[in-house]
Chains A and B, each alone.
Chain A
Amino acid sequence: MQNKRSGSLTLVPYYVWIALFVIAPIILVGYYSLLDLEGNFTFENYKNFLTPVYLKMTLSSFWYAFLITLFCLVVSYPAAFIISRLKNKQLWLMLIIIPSWINLLLKTYAFIGILGQSGPINAFLSAIGLEKQQMLFTSASFVFVSVYIFIPFMILPIFNSIDKLSPALLDASRDLGASRLYTLRRVMIPLTMDGIKAGIQAVFIPALSLFMITRLIAGNHVITLGTAIEQQFLVTQNWGMGSTIAVFLIIFMFIIMAFTGEKRKKGASRRDKN
């Protein structure tokens, strides 16, 4: 489409952007993580991170991010498949995407009302003669609301890869005697792996650093690394410690990217040949 020279010229804005808004901030975060409150050079922040409080927090961040991603995947994969087989699939897809246009905070506040003691769910429970349930401020409600918020980000990439998958392949598999489950396991999932990986990336990484929702929906019963960063920067104004947590978060993210991103190219080229 383009010759090489104009190609490299059009890449200049991209490189400038990456340098200014990706590389430079990461270097700054790394720099600040080595400073104490008075601005002196120190490794104290890293030592502090490797104490039980922060390690436990890291563990629970990963656990909840894992749960959120898992539930998102379990809901999104069948949903994306069904949508891709519908007549007005773009319209249905649109209906799922629209909620993601609404501000995150507004959606969260809406859930405070829905899940509260005087909310519609508890009103319904007491109307049919059941006892009211404490739903707000539990880790279950935190996972539920987060899954709701992240589902569009999981469905989109999965839908795209399922949509590109030729139905003929599934038919062929069935004709050759594979069971439904076997077809799903050996044909469909491997061929849509790119979408699944992209979806996991789009959900797991932001889920790792969620904050706000941990307070509003979980009432601080769930503490993630994101919560700790927010507190270090805004309340304690200890930029060093906040940056140190951020450094670890960035490292974790790179690891996840490496795991979910590496084989993608191979998968893509294989499919291109099809």
Chain B
Amino acid sequence: MTAALRLTDLTVSYDRHPAVHHVSAEIPAGEMTAIVGPNGAGKSTLLKALLGLAPRVEGRIECTAKRIAYLPQQAEIDRSFPISVLDTVLLGRWSRFGGFGAAKPVDLHDARHAVAAVGLSGFERRPIETLSVGQFQRVLFARLLLQDADLVLLDEPFAAIDSKTVADLMVVIRRWREEKRTVVAVLHDFDQVRRDFPHALLLARELVAAGPTARVLSAENLLRARAMAEAWDERAGACDVPLRLSA
């Protein structure tokens, strides 16, 4: 089994407080991996670090993926902005036409296809402000489809989404796996993780466990994760664990 991502002694901090602390782990290529852990465990921060968007990163990230697609949490998007569904989806081809190039007919064709694939046919011209949370998540998935990435990072893809939409979007995610793409998703629903994601990574600022889901999500590990997340020291001194590898 090859690794799509290899993290070595990764520490990511905000204002010197580590949100992700000395994490070493491997994420298998062409597989579906769930990142789980309590709120504030550093899950979103870990994804941001993988994208190169985190402010301060120590340690090493090795990534074999050439193209990465990223689904942000919905709160990061201004959904009242006047832009149509089709235009939003088309942005998935940014790597092809960039900020200034023209979209080709094939891009437009693929975008319509992606809109249909997430079950939103007929919504192409609708402004995104008229969509429900679930419909808008489908739009973002259509944009991911267009990105044609070999590594897909999903940050809480199913927060506040109904079960029908979750089922539809899981079909899309499973298809990515069949196409040998690596999927990494931050999730909170343990039942869903156990059912759909063969690999898991349990985070509580530090790595609690990583590997096959059944082993990672043991009662003992979950208890340990909760205890670790609640321990927060405002006056923590400088961390003296030596970095095994410099960035």
Q: Do A and B bind each other?
A: no
Binding site for B on A (CB under 8 A): none
